[in-house]
Amino acid sequence: MERQQTEVTTTPSNDSLKVFAYLEAKLGESSEIIGVGDSKEVSKVDIMAVHDRPEQGVKTYATLDFATHDIGLEANGKDLRVELVMACGAGYQHGAHILASCAFEAMNDGANIGPGEILEDVVALYHPDFVMQHAMLVDPFLWDMESQQLETRTVAFLQIIPISTAEADYAEANGPDALQDRFVAEQIDVYDLERSSVI
């Protein structure tokens, strides 16, 4: 896996406008839209960034056109697609890149996308010294989000939680729900990429 490279600021494609409007309604008006391409110039994803949401000092990111990628699932007779969201402290500079790397894991490397899936080293690419190195996909809990029914596809949303290697191993051994129970018990700060591991 290689670090991703930010490209010029772009606007969402026409196919993403309905999802973009929904995300702005749920997450807040976007402060910027960032186009992030992979280092091999194979794939690109647009990401919206929202300042001070869901609270002051936090920055929220969401993919805008990852849902154009076929993840091989269906719902209600339509293709099921996904957009990814995450929130972290505004002081961290690579939130958009971390989210893009999660998308590229599926787009370029065929990683499974669904609740409980773990994407390895997507945080370590940009913060190799942090205890949080990977990301786990979960149903969004910071925002009240519902799947969107479009003409040709259903678009669902998954939230990214940065996790440590020990936490990833725990989830592998005990299941992702058990790890999330530990997060609730420890009341982790999901915005803090430098938090301590609960395992």
pLDDT single digits (tens) 122-152: 999 999 999 999 999 999 999 999 999 888 8
Q: Percent of the chain, pLDDT > 90?
A: 65
Confidence of residue 78 (pLDDT cuts 50, 70, 90): confident
Evaluate if residue 26 carries a pLDDT over 70: yes
Residue 5: predicted pLDDT: 52
Neighbouring CB atoms inside 10 A of 142's CB total 17
Between CA 59 and CA 57 the distance in angstroms is 7
Evaluate if residue 1 carries a pLDDT over 80: no
Confidence of residue 15 (pLDDT cuts 50, 70, 90): low
Contacts with 140 (C-beta within 8 Å, 6 or more apart), sequence order? 85, 157, 158, 159
Q: What is the pTM of this model?
A: 0.89
Confidence of residue 115 (pLDDT cuts 50, 70, 90): very high
Asked whether 29 and 66 are in contact (CB, 8 A), the reply is no
Work out the mean pLDDT of the chain and round it to a whole number: 89
Evaluate if residue 24 carries a pLDDT over 70: yes
Between CA 101 and CA 2 the distance in angstroms is 9
Evaluate if residue 20 carries a pLDDT over 50: yes
Residue 151: predicted pLDDT: 80
Residue 96: predicted pLDDT: 94
Confidence of residue 8 (pLDDT cuts 50, 70, 90): very low
Mean per-residue pLDDT, 187-199: 95
